[in-house]
């Protein structure tokens, strides 16, 4: 792999993946609302909700390096709260960043990769895109959409030599959990997102371990990159018995909201 773009790459999963790719010799451009401070990557300011800006970045990287090997559409926000607490602003912000941000990246990069006959699109979803994940419905909805987009595009893109993977991590130790509902009304769930994640999963997955899983999955051209092992077990449970998975999720809601 020679050139890569990672959106939402100034912190968390994106930053860790950028580090892994750099260690493997890639030239990485990290795009985020705030410029990163990693001297080993090219850092640019980008709002993924702006399709023209996303397209301009993809074009710039292609012109500068002559190719685009990978784009990781990773920028995202966390939205937490019981559905009756949430406003349309919560829904619209999640859709704009978590779904449209991915669409903009795909729309810009896919034609470039089709024309050159190779490339890999990696979209960051979540375990919440594979299982019933209550108390964060705008987030859950967008992540299910990203999974569907990615798997369908993978089937379509194969004839052009373009690969597509989707990343579905369980709760990972990133700043996302400390900034749920950014610039939006707080809810009890958003105030306690980190502690709730620990109660559900037991232990937050180290972001460095997830980054290695992701880069390994990219190298193997995995359709879905699901980690850690507890996330894969949850996904397996949903496939075996969707109704049982919903019952488990309902019990989790009762436990998380008992004192609310």
pLDDT tens-place string over residues 52-89: 999 999 999 999 999 999 999 999 999 999 999 999 99
Conformational region of residue 50, where left means phi above 0, alpha means psi within -120 to 50, and beta covers everything else: beta
> Taking a C-beta distance cutoff of 8 angstroms, is the pair 14, 71 a contact?
no
The domain over range 3-257 is classified in CATH as 3.40.50.720: yes
Q: How many residues does the chain have?
A: 260
Degrees to nearest 5, angle at CA 87 with 84 and 92 = 130
Measured distance CA(260)–CA(256) in Å, rounded: 8
Beta bridge partners of 163: 120
Catalytic residue among 65, 110, 139, 205: 139
**Whether residue 205 lies in the annotated active site:** no
Instruction: Give the three-state DSSP class for 136.
Output: strand
Tell me the whole-structure pTM to 2 decimals.
0.94
Domain spans of the chain? 3-257
pLDDT tens-place string over residues 92-107: 999 999 999 999 999 9
pLDDT tens-place string over residues 125-160: 999 999 999 999 999 999 999 999 999 999 999 999
How do 224-227 and 162-169 pair as beta strands? parallel
Place of tokens 């941000």: 101
3-state helix, strand, coil in the chain (%, to 5): 55, 15, 30
């Amino acid at each position: 792999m020679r050139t890569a773009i990672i959106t939402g790459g100034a912190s968390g999963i994106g930053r860790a993946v950028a580090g892994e790719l750099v260690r493997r010799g890639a030239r990485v451009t990290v795009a985020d609302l705030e410029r990163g401070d990693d001297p080993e990557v090219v850092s640019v300011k980008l709002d993924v909700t702006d399709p023209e800006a996303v397209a301009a970045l993809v074009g710039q990287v292609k012109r500068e390096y002559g190719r685009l090997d990978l784009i990781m559409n990773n920028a995202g926000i966390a939205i937490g709260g019981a559905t009756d607490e949430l406003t349309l602003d919560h829904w619209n912000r999640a859709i704009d960043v978590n779904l449209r941000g991915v669409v903009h990246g795909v729309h810009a990069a896919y034609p470039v990769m089709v024309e050159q006959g190779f490339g890999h699109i990696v979209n960051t979803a979540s375990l919440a895109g594979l299982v019933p994940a209550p108390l964060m419905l705008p987030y859950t909805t967008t992540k299910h959409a990203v999974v569907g987009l990615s798997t369908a595009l993978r089937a379509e893109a194969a004839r052009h030599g373009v690969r597509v993977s989707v990343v579905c991590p369980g709760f990972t130790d990133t700043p996302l959990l400390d900034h749920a509902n950014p610039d939006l009304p707080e809810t009890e769930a958003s105030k306690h997102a980190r502690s709730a994640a620990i109660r559900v999963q037991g232990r937050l997955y180290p972001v460095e371990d997830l980054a290695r899983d992701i880069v390994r999955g990219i190298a193997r051209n995995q359709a879905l990159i699901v980690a850690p092992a507890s996330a894969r077990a949850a996904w397996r449970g949903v496939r075996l018995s969707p109704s049982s998975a919903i019952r488990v999720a309902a019990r989790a809601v009762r436990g998380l909201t008992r004192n609310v």
